[in-house]
Amino acid sequence: MCGIAGIVGHENVGRIDEMLKVQKHRGPDNTSIWNDNFIQLGHNRLSIIDLSVDANQPFEDDNFVLVFNGEIYNYLEIKSELQKEYSFKTNSDTEVLLIAYQKWGKECLKQFNGMFSFAIWDKNESILFAARDRFGVKPFYYTIENGVLYFASEIKALFAAGIKKEPNKKVWANYFVYGSYGLPNETFWENIDQLPASNFLTYQRKKLQIEKWYFFEEEVKKYFNQKLTYLEVKEIYTELLKDSIKLRFRADVPIGFNISGGLDSSALLAFVNQQENSKNIKAFTFYTNDKLYDELPWVEEMISLTNNPLQKVLLEAEEVPDLSIKTSFHQDEPYGGVPTLAYSKIFEKARKEGVLVLLDGQGMDEQWAGYDYYLTSNNQNTIQGVLKSPFRKNVLTKELLNYVVKPEYVKPFKDELLNKQYRDLFYTKIPRTLRFNDRLSMTYSTELREPFLDYRLVEFAFAQPIEYKINEGVQKKMLRDIVSKYLSDSITYAPKRPLQTPQREWLGKDLEKFVTDRIENIENSKFSYWFDIEKLKKEWQNYLNGDNQSSFHIWQWLSFSLNLN
């Protein structure tokens, strides 16, 4: 897990230095630069596999130079195939990736089971090839200015290269009106794009081309007509799940896992403890000392069955102002509120404990239809557990509302449930959560792995009949039945509990002054014309007076204010 950066078409090496400096938290173990005429490639290394200096990057051979962020979990299997023709110099997945590209070209991407964002410079052809993994676990941001391509793992690195920081009015407007975090190619900043998940790009002679390499819609079709029994599906999925976690245990540093009180975490707990090398693996969870929200009782019940050492991390209200400012700096864009801040403390604790790799249970809801809005045909909301609109369009001025474009998502399937799941996988839930989580883990120089997002699991589960997912109102039916073999019924069949903190209460009480100050920051900014300030203040007063069924609109304003810094 690392940070990458590059400049193609400019000889000023000083800019790449600044880019790497601002994202050094992504890889504190080594920082290096490769340059040749009008190209510079840079790398911040967090050493996870093959800790030797031989695996440092940029990684170069006679004809190619690679900068790589992520992990190729099945690198040993690929390496065994490539060893027939190539003598490896390191034990790293980095070298496997580069040799795989040399052998198979862009088709190597289909061989990889992993999370990755990388760029390869072909010295002979003077062409840059860059790619991103299937679900976009690892980031790739870029811009072209005056014929020069800049790319990096974080947006702030592009700002450090001299790219102007200017808000993208359309993305911000859609965020305020619809809660959208942008389409797969968009960011909250003008002229800064991201390479979409499942895509690769080439850049040669100032010409940029982007192509899709992974077609999820086509891959799942191979399962639609299998007509497997419930028991057969259960057995196949269980074996895939075991293998996914086994692959993600490959590391040369200590591994831990995150846990909450829900079904997904219980599945992770159960299968992590089946690994041969999982003895005494540490579990991490957060709490806020609020019995209305904390999942600690369920977590402790789950852990009592396996006796994993449990690291409990407390978030208190007085920490939120400073932590939200720090998190905004590292996120570069809006993020998910106080629960995100609480989650960030887990990575800080893990790093202090010497645990550099954490496993997390993200991805089950999208493949097994676990969100409440999957149960209704007319609910287009993607915010769990909220009935009233969480947005306040009325505080926006016509100047900003003119930029609003209602997000439209591809619907490749005839079934409405599948289209909702597809939307959440590639447009809404997963993309934003992966972005939040990547920045949180990297803030503290730790690596996060999501075994439930193994593409084999997602494809197989996604394609199963609806009655395997939702049965008599019970969601994620298949997963519950799988986990029941290992854990108690009170855990396995507990209702879904959205990850919660006392955000609503804290914002209106403990953090009232902090919110008021941030609203004043908006009022005094050059972007105050985006808002009807009097209406915004009135909505804030309504919130303080008890109109707080949802606090998302308050957090939106906080996010905007924090991003003005």
pLDDT digits (tens, 9 = 90+) for 136-194: 999 999 999 989 999 999 999 999 999 999 999 999 999 999 999 999 999 999 999 99
Based on the fold, state whether residues 178 and 276 are members of the same structural domain. no
**For residue 36, which of 56, 6, 2 has the smallest C-alpha distance?**
6
Least confident of 119-133, 180-194, 251-265: 251-265
Residue 199 bridge partners (DSSP): 212
Confidence category of residue 383, pLDDT binned at 50, 70, 90: low
Residue 472 included in any domain? yes
Map tokens 């400049």 to a residue.
7
Residue 531 bridge partners (DSSP): 396
Overall number of domains in the chain: 3
Coil, strand or helix at 252: coil
Verify whether residue 108 is a known catalytic residue. Answer: no
Give the single-character DSSP code of 89: S
The pair of structure tokens assigned to 505 is 């209460």
Strand order in the sheet with 39-45: 30-36, 39-45, 2-8, 148-152, 141-145, 193-194
Q: What's the pLDDT score for residue 133?
A: 98
Based on the fold, state whether residues 235 and 336 are members of the same structural domain. yes
Based on the fold, state whether residues 193 and 286 are members of the same structural domain. no
Residue 97 has pLDDT above 70, yes or no: yes
- Percentage of the chain modeled with pLDDT above 90: 84
What's the mean pLDDT in 489-493? 67
Confidence category of residue 276, pLDDT binned at 50, 70, 90: confident
Confidence category of residue 564, pLDDT binned at 50, 70, 90: confident
Residue 238 has pLDDT above 70, yes or no: yes
Residue 11 has pLDDT above 90, yes or no: no
Confidence category of residue 348, pLDDT binned at 50, 70, 90: very high
pLDDT digits (tens, 9 = 90+) for 288-336: 999 989 999 889 988 988 889 999 999 999 999 999 999 999 999 999 9
- What CATH number should be reported for the domain holding residue 230? 3.40.50.620
Residue 385 has pLDDT above 70, yes or no: no
Residue 497 included in any domain? no
Confidence category of residue 225, pLDDT binned at 50, 70, 90: confident
Residue 498 included in any domain? no
Based on the fold, state whether residues 546 and 469 are members of the same structural domain. no
Confidence category of residue 262, pLDDT binned at 50, 70, 90: confident
Q: What's the pLDDT score for residue 485?
A: 84
Contact 4, 117 (CB under 8 A): yes
How many Å separate Cα 38 from the centre of its chain? 32
Residue 381 has pLDDT above 60, yes or no: no
Based on the fold, state whether residues 137 and 278 are members of the same structural domain. no
Give me the phi and psi of 87, to 5 degrees please: -100, 115
Coil, strand or helix at 371: coil
Which residue range(s) make up the domain with 522?
A: 503-563
Q: Where are the alpha helices (DSSP H) in 227-319?
A: 230-247, 263-272, 296-304
**How far apart are the C-alpha atoms of 84 and 74, rounded to whole Å?**
17
What's the mean pLDDT in 261-267? 87
Among the listed residues 1, 2, 46, 536, the single catalytic one is 2
**How far apart are the C-alpha atoms of 482 and 497, rounded to whole Å?**
19
Based on the fold, state whether residues 142 and 99 are members of the same structural domain. yes
Residue 124 included in any domain? yes
Based on the fold, state whether residues 372 and 465 are members of the same structural domain. yes
Contact 19, 6 (CB under 8 A): no
